[in-house]
Each structure stands twice: as structure tokens, then as C-alpha cells.
Amino acid sequence: MRPSFLPRLINGPFDDPGLYISFLFQKRALIFDLGDINGLPVKDLLKISHTFVTHTHMDHFIGFDHLLRVMLGRDKKLSFFGPQGFLKNVEGKLAGYTWNLADNYNYPLCLQITEVGPEFTRARSYRCRDRFEPLQDAVRKPFDGVLHEEPAFRISAVILDHKIPCLGLSIKEHFHVNIIKEGLKRLGLEPGPWLSQFKQHLYSQTDPASMFEVQMPQQKLKKQFKLGKLAEQIAQITPGQKITYIADVIYSESNIEKIVEFAADSDHLFIEAAFMEKDREIATEKYHLTARQAGQLAARTAARKFSIFHFSPRYIEQESFLYQEASEAYKSELATKQRKEESERSGYTFHNF
């Protein structure tokens, strides 16, 4: 399967956390956490449509100013999501600058800010042209775990404990469309940007009897197909991709339970590991995870792949120990889990006799 979302950590493990998720064959991206983002080229920042901030500790939020600066004067609507208190945090940032010339810009950059509480979300919009004064009172909606949904995917959040509310985040494709190369060949088609449009029609459940035009990239040739017939020939549907991002949490019963459920079955889990197990007490005091705890959580969620990040600077030049600790914990937890499942299975067979 060729993944639709391409996630990458923005910085090294000792620098500010943040995950940049670009979309295959689309000039579009999302970002989880807004720490130091100076390492991202402007062309990548401009692809961002939605930004999700786990919590507003400085190392997760200082990049807001940089992103805003890059976006200023552009015809864009940019959505931000964050935990309780986020509207006040963003308004505080916006109030830190003088916007008397902002109405000179030709294009109305618009910020849509949503804060997420346990039961409700509250959203407000701010336009550059209006000097970022809020356009209306906050709009309240019930929060059911989903922050944003499109035909192809949804972004969900869970509220975790970091001594303050902190959002765990995930992006999940509703289903995955695999393109069958032989099918393309049989029909004399070449891959190109038309494939993204084709997939969008499948996600949007467009009528299979409607006509779809394939614009070949190399030649100026156009071919017409019935959407359903084309899908039968070139598309295979498999479960959608899931990426989960967990930053800054304490290893408590309640967090463990929520993370195991929320991150279940992720293709790739990104999870903080600020400390080593030998410094577990400090980790608990600071409401962070150890590498061992991160590895165990990754195994318990059955993540197919996991990456740790957000290391404390006390381990500079010792990062290999953190990776090793997490990977050993993952393997051993996975082996325990499998043994348990096997014994449960054999017990079940026995009772069936």
C-alpha cells in the first residue's frame, strides 16, 4: 500500500516536538504541534491547512508567530485547534502585535480557532483585514471526539493529563484506495494528478454511473470512463491509514487506558519519551513518559510502527539508550501480549470441547 499521509517529525529528538503530515500527490499538509518550525521551508509551511496544538507549553506553541508571519497577506483560511483556554492563548498572541496596516493587504487571511473542552468545542474567526478582532462570539458545539472531517479522513482528539489538559491526536483515512498498476496498463493509462481526483470521487461516494475524464499527464489525450467501471479495473479498497501523535503525558491509569483505546491499531504511533526508566521519578514529577513506558504503550496499542521524540537534554549524546529502551519494552510487551492471547485462545478451544 502506498500511504496517503506522509508524516515526519519536524525536528531532532532533543528539539521542539511537532509532526508535519503531507498528503501524497497534493499540495497540502497538516501539522500536529507548533514548536520551533523554522526548519520547515516556506513552501512546506504554505501547504498547511489545519494546525493542531496538543497544549500551549512554549515548546509546542512558539511556532504560531512564525506560521502567522509566513501566511500574512495571503488568500488563505487557516484552522487551528487546541485545548481548553486556546482562544485566550491565541488572542493573547495576536494582541502582542500592532495591526494598524493590516487592512492594506490585498487578501484576507482568516484564522479559524477552535478550543476543545471535555464536552464542547468553542470556535471563533479572526481576519487580518479586521486587525484580527474576533468576528463574532464563540460558537459552541458538542465535542464527540472528532475535530475535523472530510470525505477521505477524520482527525480525532482525546483529552489527556499533563497536569493540564493535553490533546492526543490522530488522523485516520476512512478507507485506502490502492491503485492496481496492471489495471492501469490494461487500459493504457498513466499515473498522474488525475488519480487524486479519482480517489476523491470514491471517498465522496460519487455516483458510479457518472462519467470520469482521465487527463493523461504526458500526452494531451483525454479518456472518458464510467466511474464505477474504472474503479473495478484499477482500484482495490483496503483499511485506511492511521497516524497517532501523543505528546506530553504522565503514565497514569487514566492516560494509559485512554491512549490504548485512542491509538489502537495505528500504522504509525509518534509518542513522547522525555526520560529514561532510571529517571522514572522525575518523569512522573514532570508529567512525562519514560522511553520504556512509551515502548509499552506502543505495543499495547498494537502500533505497527512507532517513533519516540521529545528527549530531555540531560541525555544528549545518549539518545541510542532511549531508542534501545523503548524498542526492548515494545518487543517484550508484544511477546507478553501474544503469549496471553495464545493461552486465552487455547483456553477457549478447550472449553469448546
Q: Which residues bind Zn ion (CB under 5 A)?
A: 57, 59, 248
For the bound state, the minimum distance from the C-beta of residue 92 to Zn ion, rounded and expressed in Å, comes to: 18
Nearest to 263, CA basis, from 167, 329, 128, 189: 167
CB-based burial label for 242 (10 Å; 0-12, 13-18, 19+): buried
Beta-carbon contacts of residue 202 (< 8 Å; ≥ 6 apart): 177, 231, 235, 237
Nearest to 3, CA basis, from 334, 305, 330: 305
Q: Which CB atom, from 202 or from 283, has the smaller least distance to Zn ion?
A: 283
Q: Which CB atom, from 92 or from 217, has the smaller least distance to Zn ion?
A: 92
For the bound state, the minimum distance from the C-beta of residue 314 to Zn ion, rounded and expressed in Å, comes to: 15
Q: Which CB atom, from 109 or from 166, has the smaller least distance to Zn ion?
A: 166
For the bound state, the minimum distance from the C-beta of residue 88 to Zn ion, rounded and expressed in Å, comes to: 18
Task: Give the 3-state secondary structure of 7-70.
Answer: EEECCCCCCCCCEEEEECCCCCEEEECCCCCCCCCHHHHCCEEEEECCCCCHHHHCCHHHHHHH
CA pseudo-torsion sign 323, 329, 332, 333: negative
Strands 242-246 and 268-272: parallel
CA 107 to CA 129: how far, in whole Å?
8
For the bound state, the minimum distance from the C-beta of residue 61 to Zn ion, rounded and expressed in Å, comes to: 10
Q: Which CB atom, from 173 or from 272, has the smaller least distance to Zn ion?
A: 272
Q: Which CB atom, from 44 or from 248, has the smaller least distance to Zn ion?
A: 248
For the bound state, the minimum distance from the C-beta of residue 80 to Zn ion, rounded and expressed in Å, comes to: 18
For the bound state, the minimum distance from the C-beta of residue 277 to Zn ion, rounded and expressed in Å, comes to: 19
Residue type, 213: E
Q: Which CB atom, from 67 or from 189, has the smaller least distance to Zn ion?
A: 67
Residues in the chain: 353
For the bound state, the minimum distance from the C-beta of residue 62 to Zn ion, rounded and expressed in Å, comes to: 11
Residue type, 281: E
Q: Which CB atom, from 74 or from 280, has the smaller least distance to Zn ion?
A: 280
